[in-house]
Amino acid sequence: MTNFTMDYYLLAQATKIEGMNMETYGVKLTQTYSDGRMETLSLYNITPHRSKMEKLIEMMKRGMVTIMTAQEIVEDFLEM
């Protein structure tokens, strides 16, 4: 089994919704393997609420969510 580390980054994106300018937030995951390989996944426009996105990222860090399960975790979080 290959060892790896996970890093999580808050993404912010200017978005225009129904003529209004607003900022939406997402997450970027970077999975770095011990042999130097890297995989990344960026999920944009998850929520317009920065605090909600920060909470999700903290939960992802604690649970060490990987790229393979990130989309499902985000969907579950939004249903809460």
44 near 38, Cβ under 8 Å? no
What band does 11 get if pLDDT is binned at 50, 70 and 90? Answer: very high
Of the chain, the end-to-end C-alpha distance in Å amounts to: 34
pLDDT, average across residues 18-39: 94
33-59 pLDDT per residue, tens: 999 999 999 999 999 999 999 999 999
The Cα–Cα gap between 80 and 12 comes to 22
- List the structure tokens of 67: 């790229």
Return d(Cα 28, Cα 53) in angstroms, integer: 11
Check pLDDT > 90 for residue 79.
no
| pTM confidence score | 0.88
Strand order in the sheet with 4-17: 4-17, 20-33, 38-47
